[in-house]
Amino acid sequence: MRWLRLGCIGLSIATFVAACGSNDQGDGAGGSGGGPGSAGGGGVSARAGSGAIAGRAGAAFAGTGGSGGGAGQPETAGGAAGEAGAAGEAGALGTAGAPPLTACATKIQSARLVPANLLFVIDKSGSMNCNPPQGDAALNARCAEFPVKEDTSKPSKWEIASGALADAIATLSGQSNVSAGLTLFPEDDHCGVSADPVVDVAKLDASQQSDITSALDGVSPSGDTPIAGATILGYQHLSDALRAAKLRGNSFVVLMTDGAETCKESELSKLVETDVPHARLFNIRTFVIGAPGSEAARSLLSQIAYEGGTASSPDCDHSGSVPDQGDCHFDMTSSQDFAKDLNAALQKISHDKVLSCEFDVPTNPDGGGVDRSKVNVTFKPGSGKEETIKLDDTASCEQANGWQYSEDGSKIELCGAACERVESDPDGEVRIALGCPTIKVVR
């Protein structure tokens, strides 16, 4: 296993961004055009809730002559004939006052949920041996000097953290679109870090779950806190895998630490100003959990979360002006119940942010591009009638209620209450139908 001490690191993620920033990972959507007479679009179907892809392909509609034209353009003769002869599945797919989507959609194809790759970068420094202070400042201060468990009848921060991580991995395990891996820092009893995870990022099946859980079980916390080195090399591992097409889709670093950088403080400005933003060029976002003991690092951790694209709110404090101020990350330094709060944070990351409501924009099965003005999203609850989820581009996804395209146009994202409803119904189905004029929210 190759490894470096942080004191010797000269690596910047900018170097590999320059080498491969323009590389196409094959995750883009089909073309946006399609003039009159081009091939008709298809549709997609996916099981909601748990994120598992529906195993069946829907019945194809009769009449494959497509419209393909832009909004407001007349349908071709072939498209009109296809609409007239369309044979849909039971139930109309339209909203009140709108024509059934089965009248103009031409085909159904199985959906592809966006793959999610998680690299957990976890602090196992000596201070993780301590009991969580549960708001006791004196206990927290003693831990910095003597990193031992004062109350042996109660769990240490590491025991709580490793248990919560194992639970999160179990929740994610078996999901069709999830891969995960584990990096622990430091590697040795000082400041050792590595670009090679303890467990490489791979499909999170039962075997991978067992490997990660076993790695967590075998840890005895010790050493210093090389936050910068571990995070930078985590980005390197993910970007190398993306560049080699070993991974595709959304990638996330989940950084958890209970302290401030103690190995290479001179790397911190580069980490925040260069490495974290450049990782986002690979669509690598960074979640940050500040465990009890990280009070002095609030500013740093908040900046990493903000620049990493996972800020708690658009106006959170990421100024960096005061070391112990910042609230863009999951800050648990004042937690009265570390186990409960950590479990809630990992649940929010793994379920709401990773498994949530993102789908690949489908390609046209008949060739040609996808007409973005003729895309519709529907949801069929486990019980009840199918309904259209409208395109809502009147606000950001945080404030919208409907669906939107991602910034790069390669994904369809459900927003607000629409996403919450889909996630809460494990028996529901999301479908993306191509070929009918997009139904939009009007405000």
DSSP string, 57-96: PPPPPS------PPTTPPPPHHHHHHHHT--PPSS--PPT
* pTM tops 0.85, yes or no: no
- Token pair of 153, please? 């009848």
Helix or strand holding residue 414 (H, E): strand 411-415
Q: How many residues are there in the chain?
A: 443
Distance in angstroms (rounded) separating the CA atoms of residues 255 and 251? 13
Burial of 262 (0-12, 13-18, 19+ CB in 10 A): middle
One digit per residue, the tens of pLDDT, for the chain of length 443 reads 434 333 333 334 444 333 433 333 333 333 333 333 333 334 444 544 433 323 222 222 222 233 333 333 333 333 333 333 333 333 333 444 445 666 676 555 545 668 899 999 999 999 999 999 988 888 988 998 899 999 999 999 999 999 999 999 998 887 778 999 999 999 999 999 999 999 999 999 999 999 999 999 989 999 999 999 999 999 999 999 999 999 988 899 999 999 999 999 999 999 999 999 999 988 899 999 999 999 999 999 999 999 999 999 989 999 998 999 999 999 999 999 999 999 999 988 876 666 668 888 877 767 777 788 888 898 888 888 888 999 999 998 878 999 999 887 888 998 888 988 887 777 788 888 888 899 999 87
**Phi, psi at residue 348, to the nearest 5°?**
-65, -40
CATH class held by domain 115-354: alpha beta
Q: With the C-alpha atoms ordered 168, 175, 204, 12, is the resulting torsion angle positive or negative? A: negative
- The continuous run of DSSP H or E covering 160 comes out as helix 157-172
**Domain segments of the chain as ranges:** 29-68+98-112+362-443, 115-354
